Structure formats: structure tokens, C-alpha cells
Chain A
Amino acid sequence: MADIATAFGLVFQPYVLSVILLSAVFGLVVGAIPGLTATMATALLVPITFFMPPVPAIASIVTATAMAIFSGDIPGALMRIPGTPASAAYTDESYAMTRKGQAETVLGADLVFSVIGGLFGTVVLVLSAPSLAEIALKFSSFEYFWLVLLGLSSAVMISVGDPLKGVVSLLLGLLISAIGLDNPAAYPRFTFGSIELLGSVGLIPMMIGMFAVSEILRYAVEQQGEAQLFQKQIGNVFRGMWGLLKRYPLQTLRGSVLGTAIGALPGAGADIAAWMSYAMSKKFSKEPEKFGTGHIEGIVEAGAANNSALAGAWIPALVFGIPGDSITAIVIGVLYIKGMNPGPTIFIDHPANIYAVFIVFFLANLLMIPFGWAAIKAAKRILDIPRNILMPVILLFCVVGAFAINNSLFAVTVILVFGLGGYFMEENGYPVAPAILGMILGAMLEENFISSMIKSDGRLLGFFERPIAAGLGILTLIVWLWPLATWRRRAAASTRA
């Protein structure tokens, strides 16, 4: 109890509260501007949070991302361009409703069900994380090895598109994580005599490159088409929301549950949660024929899903140090910098800070109601910001931000290389998420693998001798064999046909 009281004390300070308010505005603006994503918002915040104490630093990321995922819906409804990838699943649907003159209803539903989804995910996070951590305390290197491998494998399987390209992306990420001195034998690998590379490639500059610089490159080669902004005064967005909630309680719950679960799976975040839950909504709907013509049902479900995924992603991030999405991938980097190393012991070493993070989650989602309302009102202003001025300024900001982490120009080289890398991977259908996970988890995977090999004296069976390890190991093997099995079955079916 004392910890919870301390946590309230940590959050309800003028400094922390003003950080939260500023981050909320920042998140809303970034989310609403097409081409700027919630992950990019996080990457841009990191250099600034670098100079803050842990609680406000985390609070600013939590608030900004929650706001950004909601406000990404705004240009979807008004311009038919998703503000962030997490809104892409139902952009056409939202715009169709706007054209039918129901802009208020769409935006209201986006807002209200984002809040509900966000709160649901937060409740699951608060309830599950501490008890999972107690189990995780008993884990040895075998369990961790399997857990990391399971996380990496599911990231590959769930990534949209080609699993083979997912594996390539993952392996490249692991390879990058092997750079430097930080390995069990402390032998400098892949440094080619460079002093900067000895300390391995910095996580934050890599993220800024992959999530911010690559987006700027994408903007630079985009064919500039003028999108039409829906020009009409937006009325009361909250009218009829209670009716929607009463009409679609199951959909709201299903979206929130699925969103939280997808968020908690490594490598899949709010965008995949929204796609899957929109598809699910259509499949189980009583009126599937209305989907795509401006029907609110899927928006309710997917809108709740993407916000609940945000909180869900924090569960594995805090408990195991395994990021649930690309935002928490950056958060893990921040936690290490702040000395709050993620893992089960974080709940013992920094309980007040963790409770403070939980409080911020609730606060951010509740703040979304007034702030989101204001953002809808100001949508036209935000969408009028000329992107040809914004993008270069963001580029300069990236440069300085990367430089600020350890005052070296090497970081600027890193953002260029990883910006290009991230851009070309995405263009060629190689998902970026597995690479990110590989970079972050590579060291953990290797360390646990090598110490397990030493403990079991090289016997692979030793990896299955502890019950939880065996369970996780079998689960991992199933994840590996699943696509092979379906591929075989499909091949068999096609030869018969």
C-alpha cells in the first residue's frame, strides 16, 4: 500500500502532470498527421525523455502513444488517409460514413471506443503483470531461452505477408545485436577495428533511423497528390455513443480482448490488432454485407482493439523484457537507460515506479476524452500544417536527438544507415518488426542459450528437462511446424485437385 501511495505522489506533481499534458498534445498532433506514426512519436520523444527522471519519461511515452493511436483515426475519417498504420484497417469504412454525413458518429465512436479499449488493456496489464512476474522469478536460463525464442518465432509468424522474409528480417536483427563486445565471451565481434562499434550499435539511434528517418524517405518519394479534406463543421461527437455501447457490447469486449492479446504477442502491435479485429468483426457480424459501406460495427471493435493493444504490449515488456510491439521495443531501451531493467525483478526493485506507470496509463486514457474532443475540433488546423515544412524539421530533430544520446556524430551515421535499411526492407516486403525484436532480444537469446548449453553440457535434451521449459519448448516447436504443416496440406490438396 505504501508503494501505491508513493506512486500517486510520483505522478501527481506539477512537473509530471505538465509533461503528461504536453505529451498528450504532441501525441495528438503526431498521430493526426499522416506519415507520422505513434512509434515515430516515441522515437522522437526519447532524446527528450533521456534527460528526465524515470516516471515522467515513461509517462510522456505512454500518453503520447495512446493519444496518437486515437488521433490517427481523425484523418482516416476526414481525408481517407490513415494518420497512423493502426487506423488503416477501417479508414475506408470511416470515410464512407463521413460521406454519408455521419462524421460526428465515426469520430465519436473512434474516441469513445479508443478510451474503452485503452482502459480495458490497462486493467489487464495491472492485473496480470505482477502475478506473471512471480512465476517469471522462478525462470532459469532454459525457460528464458525458450521464451525469447517463442517470442521471436511468433513475431515472424504473425508478421503480415511472407514468413520466409520475416525470418530473414529476424536473422538480420540478431546479426546486428551480435555487433560489439557485449557477448558472453566479451570478444569484439564485427567491429572491424571501429571503436564506436565496440559498444554495439546504439538502440535509440537505430530506432530513430528505422521509424523516423525511413518515414521521411517515404514521404520524399511519395507522389504528391492533394487529398481532399472534408470541409464541414463537426457537431457534438458524443451524441449516440451510449446507444452504440448498448448495441455492440460484445463487439467492444471482443475487440478489447483480442487487441490486448495481440499487443502482448511479441512483434505484433496496434496495427495488426486493428486488422485482425476488423476481420473478426465482419466474420461474426449479423450484417456482414454492410461492412465497407459505412457501417459502424467494425470501427467500434477495431477502434477498441488498437488502443487496448498498446497496454497489452507492456505486459511482456515489463515482465520479461520482451517487447510486445515496436513502441515497447523503444521503451525497453529507455527503461535500461533509466536503470529500471525490465524483468520480473522490476516489481521488487521499483514497485512504486511501476504503480506510477499503471496510474499514468489510466490517466492518459481518461485524458483522452477531453483532449481527443479538442483534437477533433482542431482537426482542420492540425491537418493544414504543411508537411513540406514539417518533414525537414523532423529530420533535423532526428539528427540532434540521435546525437544527444551520447554526443557522438556516429549516431547520425547510424540513423542514416538504418533509415535506408528500414525503408528498403519495407518496400520489398520484409517486415521490420522481427528485425527490431532480433536486435533487442539477440543478446538475451545468446546469453541464455550459451549458459544453458554450458549447464546441460551441450545436451539439447537438457532444454526440455524442467517442466515449464519443456512446455515453452514444445509450444515453440509447434509455432515452427504449424506453417510447414499447413503448407504440406495445401500442397497435398493441390496435387489431388
Chain B
Amino acid sequence: MGGLLLVLAAAIGIYVSGFPGMPGQRYGAALFPGMIAAGLAACGALLLARGVRAKAPAFEFAPWTRVPALAANFALVCGALLFYIFAAEPLGFMVTGTLLLLALFLKLGVRPLPAVVVAPVAALVIHLLFYKLLRVPLPWGILGFMAGW
């Protein structure tokens, strides 16, 4: 972790040194991020020194990563968000939302029948709340023919 911070700090330092100054002023856009980078470097060095002294392993995995079912849960939550980012526009909110909920429900141990019922209903309720009540333009996607309702 300490090493990681040092690398980050160095990268910021190099990136920031390319910033132009404010005309007529000595203190420009680079000063503040530069100071942050210096601070991060100091912390990184301290953490690194402490880790070396304590002979701690450079990286440790949390216990759940060794339980495949839990690691899969974690991946699925992240995957669900990625899926939404890519599928929301083409498929539309209702379809994407229903699929997202269904996948998570089934993985988290909701029985199939309630899962199949609750997923579309919950997606519909959220859709109505935001689309009708709050006028957020949620994408319709393949259900575009319903938009006029």
C-alpha cells in the first residue's frame, strides 16, 4: 500500500509539473496538487517503512475471497453495475433493471417464484417513481413503443 502511494505521488508530481502558471501570478494550478502529492509520498514512505519493520506481507486477501460463493456475490454486484452501464441505453431501464434484480435475487438465495415476481414489479415501481413523478428521462430501449403511455 505504501509503495502504491509512492508511485501515485510520483505520477501526480510529473503530471502536475506540466501545468501552466497563472499569468502574472506565482501560484498556479500545480501548487495545490503538488502539495498533495508530496503529502502522499511522505505517507507512502512511512507506511512502507512500517510495513517493512513489522515484516507484514505486502498484500493480504480478506477471508471472504477464499469462499467462492461470497467472492462470486461480490463480483456479481460489480458486474450488475457494469451491465447496467452498457445495457441501459440499448435495452431500456425496465428490461435492464428487471434482469439486474433477477440475477441478484437468484444469487442471494431468493426463491425463484418470488424473484420472478418481485424483479419486474420493483423495476416498474422505481420506473414510475422516477419517470412519472420526478420526470427523469430513463431510457426506454426496446420497450420504446410503450413510451407514449
With A and B bound together, what is the CA distance between A217 and B104 in angstroms? Answer: 12
Sample of 13 more A-B contacts, CB < 8 Å, known A168-B47, A171-B36, A416-B85? A51-B135, A164-B46, A164-B50, A165-B47, A171-B40, A187-B28, A190-B33, A217-B78, A220-B108, A223-B64, A389-B105, A399-B81, A409-B89
Whether B71 lies near A221 (C-beta < 8 A) is yes
Q: Looking across the interface, which residue of chain A has its beta carbon closest to that of B105?
A: A392
What is the count of residue pairs linking A and B with beta-carbon distances less than 8 angstroms?
Answer: 153
Q: Looking across the interface, which residue of chain A has its beta carbon closest to that of B1?
A: A428
Cβ of A388 under 8 Å from chain B? yes
Whether A396 lies near B122 (C-beta < 8 A) is yes
Residues of A within 8 A of B80 (CB): 392, 395
A sample of 24 cross-chain residue pairs with beta-carbon separation below 8 angstroms, ordered by A number, consists of A47-B130, A164-B46, A165-B47, A175-B33, A175-B36, A178-B33, A183-B32, A187-B19, A190-B33, A213-B77, A220-B77, A389-B118, A395-B80, A396-B126, A400-B130, A400-B136, A404-B136, A409-B85, A415-B81, A416-B85, A427-B62, A450-B32, A454-B27, A458-B27
With A and B bound together, what is the CA distance between A187 and B30 in angstroms? Answer: 9
Residues of B within 8 A of A167 (CB): 39, 43
Q: Looking across the interface, which residue of chain A has its beta carbon closest to that of B102?
A: A392
Chain A at the B interface: mostly helix, strand, loop or mixed? helix
With A and B bound together, what is the CA distance between A400 and B129 in angstroms? Answer: 10
With A and B bound together, what is the CA distance between A412 and B86 in angstroms? Answer: 10
- Could you tell me the distance in whole angstroms from the C-beta of A119 to the nearest C-beta in chain B? 33
Interface size on B, residues (CB 8 A): 63
**Binary contact readout A247-280 vs B (1 if CB under 8 angstroms, 0 otherwise):** 0000000000000000000000000000000000
Cβ of A243 under 8 Å from chain B? no
Q: Which residues of B contact A (CB under 8 A)?
A: 1, 5, 12, 15-16, 19-22, 25-29, 31-33, 36, 39-40, 43-44, 46-47, 50, 62, 64, 67, 70-71, 73-74, 76-78, 80-82, 84-85, 88-89, 93, 97, 100-101, 104-105, 108-110, 114, 118, 122-123, 126, 129-130, 134-138
Whether B108 lies near A407 (C-beta < 8 A) is no
Q: Looking across the interface, which residue of chain B has its beta carbon closest to that of A427?
A: B62
Q: Looking across the interface, which residue of chain A has its beta carbon closest to that of B22?
A: A185
